[in-house]
Amino acid sequence: MSSLQAWIVLVIACWSTWQANLVIAGVIQSNLQTLPDHREKWANVAYNYIYSIQCQMLMSHRNCRKFRVTKRSDMNIYLAYHQGNSSYPEKYRLVLPRKQYESQKYLNDAIIVIDPFPKLSFGHRLFIFAIHGDLGQVECRARHGQYIGNKECLIMITKSECPNERESYKDYKRRCDTDILPLVYYANDLYTSQQLLCYSNFSGFGQCREVALRDAIPTPKDCQNSGTCHLGRASIQAQRTLECPRQYNPTENYAILLSSGWNDQTLSVHAESNVRRMWQALTRVHRYPVNHVQTFFGHYGVIDLNGDGNHIDTARPANRDVFVKDAIKRLCQFCNVYTLFIYMNSPTMSDGSILMWDHDGHGQAENYERYSPSEIVTSLIRCRKARLIVLLIDQSYAGILVKKIRHAKLDNVAVYAASGVDDYSDGKSFTDHFLKANASSCMYNIYSATQKIMRSTFYEPFNESGKVVMSGLPCSSYVRNF
């Protein structure tokens, strides 16, 4: 065979192979292009699925009852699906803050998330599903999925060590939790940009929750006035920190405000307002010195605490737990702390851990991006010389921290929390109640009034030190006054 003939044969073979691949790609592309038409079917199947399972296995009995009476129009639905507008069919990767999810190693054709409680802050039960468009009925069942026809399989995302749904397990709801929106991105994309979006008023679901504006990036003006532009460890430590007075004062009060957010999608619309109002209440009503209140907020720490339109330089990023730990450690080692007031208002995981901002943007919570109840207790134990530490916690699963503090028998810590061990918080109502208080309102009395509207929990020292107002001074009278 001449070289010319060989070349012709090679061209014909390549042409045939290209045509075959084109047909295959065309079939796949055609199938994926129909996905938008399937969205309503997926939504209906997913909605019916969550009502077919025993919700008391996934959340507290109280929240289960609430879920059962929640209307579809009061829920939110999130979707990531291929819209058929690219040259190649796209697959999705799904990443959750916890690493123990078997489904994270699979590629998915679409992702569905149903949020049954969109009025609550993140840190509550979500229902997450993956759609696989290439599984037969037998394969679908082997993956514990629900076959919905046309080789489409709906699979509920659970942790890999989660027991079978039919099994009875005491800690099932904590082992099988999915409480934060996942990061969903194109499998072949170099950038992990979020493709999961909320769709308002779709297929009977309600209006999407209001989201906060994107966490502000420091402007040149901010950079000139603060150290928030460079997020390296050295520059963070160089930012303004809590100052110890040069002269001894037996009644020095300090405060730490923590509101992280995890990412733009889970940052509460109330977060900035909560922190600003708490900062203003402490410095203006309860007379905490401005340089005694340290704020940790969002990714960059840029927040207008004064409310006058200028970003002031007292805030720091809330993207590493060590920043908060170091602030508490420094206070307790070098300052004469009479009262330390700590306010927490962040997304949480079902073990009670606070999610700091997702610093690397990869969707998984690294150790430095979590501040666990055990670590918080350790920080408080190292501050025993403070007369009183007051924790005001407006976030989900706060009762876990209360329980650990009670078990540690910290006799100088008082905790007022918006939620129990298995309960959720809307991230605002509890805060609002305390902000209505005046300078002479007793903390416990304010807390007692909240029990009429939410399942809050508390812990106070056995001595009289817990009977104080927000400034740390003793209550003038132990009657409700606000």
* Segment 91-106, tens digit of pLDDT: 999 998 886 555 556 7
285-295: pLDDT as tens digits = 999 999 899 99
140-186: pLDDT as tens digits = 999 889 999 888 999 998 765 454 443 444 444 555 568 899 999 99
Q: Per-residue DSSP letters for 394-438? A: -STTTHHHHHHHHHHT-TTEEEEESS-TT----SSHHHHHHHT--
Range of the domain at 96: 18-198
CA distance 207 to 75: 8
Average pLDDT, the chain: 79
Q: Are residues 330 and 255 in the same domain?
A: yes
Q: Annotate 269-306 with b (16+ C-beta within 10 A) or e (fewer).
A: ebbbebbbbbbebbbeebebeeebbbbbbbbbbbbebe
Q: Are residues 102 and 229 in the same domain?
A: no
Higher-pLDDT residue of 277 and 211 is 277
pLDDT of residue 453: 72
Q: Are 118 and 77 in contact (CB under 8 A)?
A: no
pLDDT of residue 245: 62
Q: Are 305 and 315 in contact (CB under 8 A)?
A: yes
13 belongs to a structural domain: no
Decide the pairing of beta strands 110-115 and 127-132: antiparallel
Q: How many domains, in total, are found in the chain?
A: 2
CA distance 369 to 390: 24
Average pLDDT, integer, range 334-354:
93
| pLDDT above 80 (res 37) | no
Domain boundary among 142, 168, 198: 198
Q: Are residues 261 and 229 in the same domain?
A: yes
pLDDT of residue 438: 85
379-398: pLDDT as tens digits = 999 998 898 999 999 999 99
186-205: pLDDT as tens digits = 988 878 899 999 999 999 99
| pLDDT above 70 (res 42) | yes
Q: Are residues 248 and 378 in the same domain?
A: yes
Q: How many CB atoms lie within 10 A of CB 4?
A: 8
Q: Are residues 239 and 385 in the same domain?
A: yes
| Chain centroid to CA 342 | 19
Question: Which residues partner with 468 through β-bridges?
Answer: 474
Q: Annotate 45-84 with b (16+ C-beta within 10 A) or e (fewer).
A: bbbebbeeeebbbbbbeebbeebeeeebeebbbbbbbbee
pLDDT of residue 444: 82
6 belongs to a structural domain: no
204 belongs to a structural domain: no
CATH label of the domain that carries residue 307: 3.40.50.1460
Closest Cα to residue 58, out of 156, 170, 176, 158?
176
Q: Are residues 376 and 244 in the same domain?
A: yes
Q: Are residues 406 and 454 in the same domain?
A: yes
213 belongs to a structural domain: no
CA distance 301 to 278: 16
Average pLDDT, integer, range 401-430:
92
Q: Are residues 298 and 422 in the same domain?
A: yes
1 belongs to a structural domain: no
| pLDDT above 80 (res 273) | yes
pLDDT of residue 8: 47
CA distance 341 to 415: 10
Average pLDDT, integer, range 82-90:
59
57-73: pLDDT as tens digits = 778 888 899 999 999 99
480 belongs to a structural domain: no
pLDDT of residue 77: 97
Domain boundary among 198, 231, 263: 198
207 belongs to a structural domain: no
Q: Are residues 189 and 96 in the same domain?
A: yes
Q: Are residues 435 and 317 in the same domain?
A: yes
Q: Are residues 335 and 392 in the same domain?
A: yes
pLDDT of residue 226: 44
Q: Are residues 270 and 387 in the same domain?
A: yes
Closest Cα to residue 323, out of 300, 349, 352?
300
pLDDT of residue 49: 93
135 belongs to a structural domain: yes
pLDDT of residue 248: 55
Residue 210 carries which DSSP code?
P
Q: For the chain, give the percent of residues with pLDDT over 90.
A: 46
Q: How many CB atoms lie within 10 A of CB 119?
A: 14
Residue tagged 């405060």 (tokens): 255
